[in-house]
Amino acid sequence: MINLFSFYRIYKYLLLYIAALLYTGEVRSQDIPVDGQKFIFFPHPMTKNWTTSVGITATTMPHDITEEFQYRIPAGDFHVTKKMGNHFILDGRVNFQIFQNLITVGPHWVSKVSDRLSFSVGNDIGYWFGAVHSEGFKTKGKGWQNYPTVSLGYRFNRQALLTFKADAIMNLSIDTRAGETKLTSDVGLLSGSSYALILEQPFSGKTSMSIGFRAIYTNFFWQTWALFENFDRNYLYPQIIIGLIL
Amino acid sequence: MIKYGTIALLLLLLISCKKEYTAPLPDITWPLFDSSGTVPLTSMTRQKIEGVYAITEGSDAFGESAVMKCSYTANGSDTTYHFSLFCQKEVIYIICEGKRLDSTILLKGYWRNMVNTETGKIRLTITNSNGASQLLYSTIADSVSGVTVTGVYGSGDNPPDKNIELSYLRKLRTTRTLQIVAHRGGGRTSDLLPASENTVEVIKLASRFGATGVEIDARMTKDGVLILYHDETLNNRLIQKNGLVGPIENYTYDQLYNLVRLKNGEHIPTLRQALNTVLYNTPLHYVWLDVKFSGSLQMLRDMQKEYLLLANAMGRSLEITIGIPDDEVLQNFQALPDFTNVPSVCELTPQNVATVNARIWAPRFTLGLQIAEVQNMHAQGRQVYVWTVDVPDNIRKYMNEGEFDGMLSNYPSAVAYFYYAKQ
Convert the pLDDT of each residue in B386-415 to its tens digit: 999 999 999 999 999 999 999 999 999 999
Task: Using a CB–CB cutoff of 8 Å, tell me whether B128 touches chain A.
Answer: no
**Dihedral of alpha carbons B333, B335, B339, B342, sign:** negative
Evaluate if residue A179 carries a pLDDT over 90.
no
Distance from CA of A243 to the nearest CA of B (A): 21
CB contact under 8 A, A19 and B116: no
The mean pLDDT value for B285-303 works out to: 97
pLDDT given for residue B273 in this prediction: 98
Flag whether pLDDT at B13 surpasses 70.
no
**Largest CA-CA distance found in chain A, in angstroms, rounded:** 65
* A80-119 residues touching B, CB cutoff 8 A: 116-117
Q: Does A199 touch chain B (CB under 8 A)?
A: no
| Helical H segments across B215-314, by residue range | 253-259, 271-281, 298-314
**Chain B CB contacts of A137 below 8 Å:** 364, 366-367
Q: Is the pLDDT of residue A3 over 70?
A: no
CA distance A232 to B114: 9
Q: Contact, B228 vs B293, CB < 8 A?
A: no
Mean pLDDT, chain B, rounded, equals 94
What local confidence, expressed as pLDDT, does residue B6 receive? 59
pLDDT for residue B134 is more than 50: yes
**B9 interaction partners in chain A (CB closer than 8 Å):** 164
pLDDT digits (tens, 9 = 90+) for A73-125: 799 999 999 999 999 999 999 999 999 999 999 999 999 998 889 999 999 99
User: Contacts of residue A177 in chain B, CB cutoff 8 Å?
Assistant: 368
Is B390 an interface residue toward A (CB < 8 Å)? Answer: yes
Q: How far is A116 from chain B (nearest CA, A)?
A: 10
- pTM across the whole model: 0.90
**What is the structure's pLDDT at A12?**
62
CA distance B74 to chain A (A): 32
**Percent of chain A residues past pLDDT 90, beyond the cut:** 61
Chain A: give the shortest CA distance to residue B231, in Å. 6
pLDDT at A1: 32
What mean pLDDT, rounded, does chain A reach? 86
Using CB atoms, which residue from A16, A230, A236 is nearest to B115?
A230
A65 versus B138: the higher-pLDDT residue is A65
Count CA atoms closer than 13 A to B242's CA, side-chain side.
18
| Average pLDDT of the residues in A11-26 | 60
Whether B13 contacts chain A with CB within 8 A: yes
Compute the distance between CA of residue B399 and CA of residue B418 in angstroms, rounded to an integer.
Answer: 8
What residues of A are in contact with residue B363 (Cβ under 8 Å)?
136
Choose between A128 and A187: higher pLDDT: A128
Confidence of residue A67 (pLDDT cuts 50, 70, 90): confident
Q: How far is B404 from chain A (nearest CA, A)?
A: 15
- Please give the Cα distance from A94 to A128 (Å, whole number): 10
pLDDT band at A8; cut points 50, 70, 90: low
Tell me the helices (H) and strands (E) count for chain A, helix number first: 2, 11
The terminus-to-terminus CA distance of chain A in angstroms comes to 37
Is residue B385 over pLDDT 70?
yes
Count Cβ atoms below 10 Å from residue B167 Cβ, excluding itself: 17
Model confidence pLDDT, tens digit, residues B355-383:
999 999 999 999 999 999 999 999 999 99
Question: Could A68 and B231 be called an inter-chain contact, meaning their C-beta atoms sit closer than 8 Å?
Answer: yes
Using CA coordinates, name the residue in chain B closest to A12: B14
pLDDT for res B141: 67
Q: Would you call A132 and B366 a contact, using CB atoms and an 8 Å cutoff?
A: yes
pLDDT above 70 (res B263): yes
Mutate to test the interface with A, among B112, B366, B403 (most CBs of A within 10 A): B366
Instruction: Give the confidence band of A183 by pLDDT, cuts at 50, 70, 90.
Output: confident
The beta-carbon contacts of B80-84 under 8 Å, at least 24 apart in sequence, are B81/B40, B81/B41, B81/B46, B82/B109, B82/B208, B83/B46, B83/B49, B83/B107, B83/B109, B84/B208, B84/B209, B84/B210, B84/B413, B84/B416
Contact B52, B380 (CB under 8 A): no
Q: What is the pLDDT of residue A71?
A: 65
Q: Is B392 on the interface with A (CB under 8 A)?
A: yes
pLDDT at B9 over 70: no
Distance between CA atoms of A89 and A108, rounded to whole angstroms?
5
The candidate with the shortest Cα–Cα distance to A138, out of B369, B290, B326, is B369
Residue B387: what residue type?
Answer: W
Q: How far is A231 from chain B (nearest CA, A)?
A: 5
Task: Enter the ipTM.
Answer: 0.85
pLDDT at A2: 35
A178 and B368: CB-CB below 8 Å? yes
Contact A184 B394 (CB under 8 A): yes
Which one has a higher pLDDT value, B243 or B88?
Answer: B88
How many C-beta atoms surround the C-beta of residue B12 within 10 A? 10
DSSP conformation class of B182 = E
Interface test with A, best of B1, B4, B7, B10 (most A CBs within 10 A): B10
List CB contacts of B14: < 8 A, sequence separation 6 or more: A12, A15, A16
Highest mean pLDDT among A8-17, A56-65, B299-308: B299-308
pLDDT at A33: 65
Query: Between helices B392-401 and B412-421, what is the axis angle to 10°?
Result: 50
Question: What pLDDT is attached to residue B19?
Answer: 74
Q: CB contact, 8 Å: B3 with chain A?
A: yes
What is the per-residue pLDDT across B30-70, written as a single tens digit (0 to 9) for each?
Answer: 999 999 999 999 999 999 999 999 999 999 999 999 999 99
Contact call for B13 and A197, based on CB within 8 A: yes
**Looking at beta carbons, which residues of chain A come within 8 Å of B116?**
231-233
pLDDT at B249 over 80: yes
Query: Tell me: the pLDDT tens digits for B205-229?
Result: 999 999 999 999 999 999 999 999 9
